[in-house]
Amino acid sequence: MSKLDSKIPEGPLAEKWSKYKASMKLVSPLNKKKLDIIVVGTGIAGAPAAATLAELGYNVKSFCFQDTARRAHSVAAQGGINAAKNYKSDGDSVYRLFYDMIKGGDFRAREANVYRIAEVSNAIIDQLTAQGVPFAREYGGTLANRTFGGVQVSRTFYAQGQTGQQVLLGGYSALKRQVSLGKVKMYSRRQMLDLVIIDGKARGIITRNLVTGEIERHSAHAVVLATGGYGTIYYLSTLAVNSNGSAAWQAYKKGAFFGNPSFVQIHPTSIPVLNDYQCKLTLMSESLRNDGRIWVPKEKGDKRDPNIIPEDERDYFLERRYPAFGNLVPRDVASRAAKERCDAGFGVGKTGLAVYLDFRDSVKKQGEKAIKGKYGNLFDLYEKITGESPYKTPMMIYPAGHYTMGGLWVDYNLMTTIPGLFAIGEANFSDHGANRLGASSLMQGAGDGYCILPYTITNYLADEIKTKLPSTDTPEFEEAAKTAKERLDKFLSINGKQTATSFHKRLGHIMWNYCGMSRNEEGLKKALQMIDDLQKEFWSDLKIPGKVEELNQELEKASRIADFLELAKLMALDALNRKESCGAHFREESQTEGGEAQRIDSEYSYVAAWEYQGDNKEPKLHKEELKFENVEVKVRSYK
Amino acid sequence: MKIKLNIWKQENPKAKGKFVKYELDGVAEEMSFLEMLDSLNEKLIKEHQEPVAFEHDCREGICGSCGLYINGRPHGPGDEIGTCQLHMRAFREGDSITIEPWRAKGFPVIKDLIVDRNAFDKIMAAGGFISIDMGQAADANAILVSKEAADKAFDAAACIGCGACVAACKNSSAMLFVAAKVSQFALLPQGKIEAKRRALNMIAKMDELGFGSCTNTGACEAECPKGISIDYIAMLNREYLCASFSETE
């Protein structure tokens, strides 16, 4: 059998999950107590997974690199979380949510997985509400909804512009409850350095205690990675600066396949780059496009104050190009349209790399108070950074690296190609195809953590009840710990002249220019060479102060950047391989006359799953064919 | 601009710390405060000196990682901002800036400007949750919550757990932090069932971990990056009092 068995259950789409659940193997409560699970990451996938597994009775070890689980980067998600509740009676349904995601992902996601996440979406809202997550309410006391890009229904639940924070804190509180009950042991301030495999199965991890520098070993019956995405590879992105791809990358190097690594979402509405010192870009939620209108002047290089530019001299380019969805087209479409205008010389602001997001009409129509109620904290955030008030002057925005649809390849059980190693949330490649729709990352992360993994991991662990918790003194642990330590020592021994951050910045430039919003063969080949050169320079001229056995933030950075330098090559390679455009992956060679992404279904209707073959060796490409039995595959149009 | 920095350096929890002076040139006013520290660190590394350790992550005021005591104020000059949202436009050429870690018994220093806020996790584990296992919840709209109550609960829940309230308080009290969580749940029907236990247990844990008492000075509210009101402390007091006088469960 091919290693790429997606294990999609038989039967009609709408019945697959329920029938499969009913046929899964179980583990008795007594046996659950004998089984240990490691969950790495405490975001919107990891915290719920750890909490729910503990509720079931397993012994959970939960890891995060932050000082506390509550700071995982899901905390920064702003706009909302989707569910097919159809509380608005506007024609929503599980099927509609499924279809929107499949289409939004440009027909590059697996039908069965996407349907399942849509199916469990309602239970997540129920659970979060029961946990006391203070979602926005109508005056009658029911939950409020709003609309996000790429859809024509209102299915997004929200808590002002801090939905991620509230949803994450729900998971965090569930986690803390299990800590208090002794079912979860927390390991904060730990960076995972390696995965340990014994007899072909994931059995543990190596971590570095970020306070003492100690290299630690942890064993378990199964390992779950909920370590998020790798968008910080661009250096400047909307992500928290310490977010990284290292855990997933180490798993890849231990044999887990990496799915669609080049599929990265560039978010259209971020505050533009303001200066050279910036180390991150701040997102302005997609929800703003409900009431904000995006435009540039019709005249090239028009430097007038936007407020005095008359209506007929403004080009509302999204409304012009996509009348059906207008300002609420999906993110990839909106990002490319903004880039197109800026590249053509119509961009605004000091750098010309920005477009306006204007609330003038909404403020006039609904009043400042109503707008404040919906977006108050986002407007404040914008004003704090730029010094300008969006109530009075249009926001300036530009696309920025945001979310990675790509990630570890997983089957229907959310298990990677390494038995016993699961990947959930953004860390897997699973549900968003080539483009993610707004407010579906919280949904997917929470769905994986609360609803799906607890079942599928049980199915796996049912065959492990006789396995004793592995000792951490085995040769496999010895070897992994030794290799991890040697690598850290090596960073310190280079003793060159350039800082870790300076390398990260340069890598970010390469990736943004050649493997960002727009890609072509020549650029990608050039990028591969440039990354190679940069990597050599990194390993010969890096400067890391201090020592391993202490809190050493520069060492932490170096370790992540070393991984990024390798991952960057895989991203470029994947982008080079996929000669079609699809979703966020835009190959300039494959576009329609109108400049829209052109898929080539006859050749690329597959998931690219890459297998590591050793350093400096070309990874091996495996293809998982995508079959669409429940939707008609067509040109994705938002016109 | 050129600025003078006076920064607390402490090698580890047991070491004796001291202030170290640095001078930094080329500081632009559109830099964020943390970007200024980044550039100081880049300079120090190149000059073979130890960089300054400080905590940070999201850099947009929501994760609660960063927290520096700047010129005598948690999160520095400016209202309702985290340290990461402070910009150098708040300072002038030649200014002297003193940077310290949070100073509180409950938050021991780990290194330089990094403190251990694990105590907050412990307080949360003592009752900062609603006991509901996955799968037990009824349809979300089965629980009706008035918009006013939901909004008030949200305002309390906006706490980012940074610890500025403790750092600002002359008694190093964690009352605003505890109040925010207790009030969020007290305002919602879902939280009422465990309300008594929650208030009693979280307060007991707070006391046990060495945080002081509240004397209603209001410094916490003034320095909270999320503008959480001390009205919630009044709500906590009421919850606590009611719980103390009622029968034990």
Provide the 3-class DSSP secondary structure of residue A509.
helix
Instruction: Spell out, as residue ranges, where chain A has pLDDT lower than 50.
Output: 1
Q: Is the domain of A396 the same as that of A479?
A: no
Q: At A238, phi and psi to the nearest 5?
A: -80, 0
- Which of A402, A422, A457 is a domain's end point? A402
Q: Which residues of B touch A55 (CB under 8 A)?
A: 133-134
Instruction: State the DSSP string of A52-119.
Output: HHHHHT-EEEEE-SSSSGGGSGGGG--S-EE----TT-SS--HHHHHHHHHHHTTT-S-HHHHHHHHH
Looking at residue A336, its pLDDT comes to 94
Interchain CB contact of A637 with B (< 8 Å): no
Instruction: Give domain status of residue A50, yes or no.
Output: no
Nearest chain B CA: its distance from A85 CA (Å): 9
The mean pLDDT of B75-93, rounded to a whole number, is: 95
pLDDT at A276 (0 to 100): 84
- Best probe of the B interface among A280, A378, A492, by most B CBs < 10 A, is A280
The single residue listed with the structure tokens 């109503």 is A370
CA-to-CA separations, A293 to A204, A233, A450, in angstroms, rounded: 50, 30, 36
Specify if A507 maps to a domain. yes
* Residue B59 Ramachandran class (φ > 0 left, ψ -120 to 50 alpha, else beta): left
The answer to whether residue A201 is domain-embedded is no
Contact A240 B145 (CB under 8 A): no
User: Which A residues 35-64 touch B at CB under 8 Å?
Assistant: 48, 51-52, 55
Structure-token pair, residue A145: 């909804």
Domains and CATH numbers, chain B: 3-111 (3.10.20.30), 118-245 (1.10.1060.10)
State residue A191 phi and psi, 5-degree precision. Answer: -105, 130
C-alpha distances in Å from residue B154, one per residue of B60, B151, B174:
19, 5, 19
Q: Which of A143, A173, A278 sits opposite B35 (nearest CB)?
A: A278
Residue of A126, A176, A502 lying closest to B139 (CB–CB):
A126
For residue B114, pLDDT over 90 is answered with yes
Specify the CATH number for the domain of residue A587. 1.20.58.100
pLDDT score of A274: 83
Show the tokens assigned to B142.
Answer: 């089965």
- Test A55 with B133 for CB contact under 8 angstroms: yes
Task: Name the domain boundary from A373, A402, A431.
Answer: A402
Average pLDDT over residues B26-43: 95
CB contact under 8 A, A134 and B150: yes
Is A364 strand, coil or helix? Answer: helix
A365 in a domain, yes or no? yes
- Token pair 């990265």 is at which residue? A264
Same domain? For A383 and A487 the reply is: no
Is B147–A550 a contact, with Cβ atoms under 8 angstroms apart?
no
β-strand partners of B3: B24
| Average predicted confidence (pLDDT) for chain B | 96
**Which residues 454-473 of A have a C-beta within 8 angstroms of B?**
454
Determine how many CB atoms are found less than 10 A away from the CB of residue A86: 18
Domain contains A112:
no
Q: Nearest-CA residue of chain A relative to B132?
A: A131
Q: Which is catalytic among the residues A331, A341, A360, A587? A: A331
Residues of chain B by 3-state class (helix, strand, coil), percent to 5: 40, 15, 50
Q: Which domain does A562 fall in, by range? A: 475-605
- The CATH code of the domain that includes A295 is 3.90.700.10
* A397 shares its domain with A276: yes
A chain contacts of residue B110, beta-carbon cutoff 8 Å? 211, 551
Q: Contacts of residue A159 in chain B, CB cutoff 8 Å?
A: 154, 157
Is B61 within 8 Å of A381 when comparing Cβ atoms?
yes
Cα–Cα distance, B23 to B6 (Å, whole number): 9
Residue in chain B lying closest to A135 (CA): B150
Q: Does residue A490 share a domain with residue A397? A: no
Residue A38 falls inside a structural domain: no
- Residues A444, A424: Cα–Cα separation, whole Å: 9
Q: In what order do the strands lie in the sheet with A264-270?
A: A264-270, A395-404, A355-358, A293-297, A314-315
Dist. CA A583–CA A612, nearest whole Å: 26
Point out the residue among B129, B139, B154 whose CB comes nearest to the CB of A134.
B154
> Both tokens of residue B97?
């800036």
Given a contact cutoff of 8 angstroms between Cβ atoms, the answer to whether A118 and A451 are in contact is no
Q: CA–CA distance from B3 to each of A117, A361, B225 (Å)? A: 53, 44, 25
Contacts 24+ apart (CB under 8 A), B105-110: B105/B172, B105/B210, B105/B211, B106/B166, B106/B172, B106/B174, B106/B209, B106/B210, B106/B211, B107/B163, B107/B166, B107/B167, B108/B13, B109/B10, B109/B13, B109/B17, B110/A211, B110/A551, B110/B12, B110/B13
Query: Which residues fall within 8 angstroms of residue A481, CB to CB, at 6 or more apart?
Result: A194, A206, A215, A217
Q: What is the reported pLDDT for B159? A: 98
Domains in chain A: how many in total? 2
Q: Please tell me the distance in Å from A234's CA to the nearest CA on chain B.
A: 15
In a domain, A32, yes or no: no
A71 contacts in B (CB within 8 Å)? Answer: 57-58, 63-65, 161
Please tell me the distance from the alpha carbon of residue B49 to that of residue B22, in angstroms, as a whole number: 11
The answer to whether residue A577 sits within a structural domain is: yes
A396 shares its domain with A490: no
Residue of A nearest to B123 (CA): A176
Nearest to A280 among B59, B80, B87 (CB): B59
- Are B240 and B207 spatial neighbours (Cβ–Cβ below 8 Å)? no
Active site residue A116: no
Query: Among partner residues B56, B114, B140, which is closest to A143 by beta-carbon distance?
Result: B140
Contact A55 B39 (CB under 8 A): no
Give the angle subtended at the CA of A478 by the CAs of A472 and A481, to the nearest 5°: 95
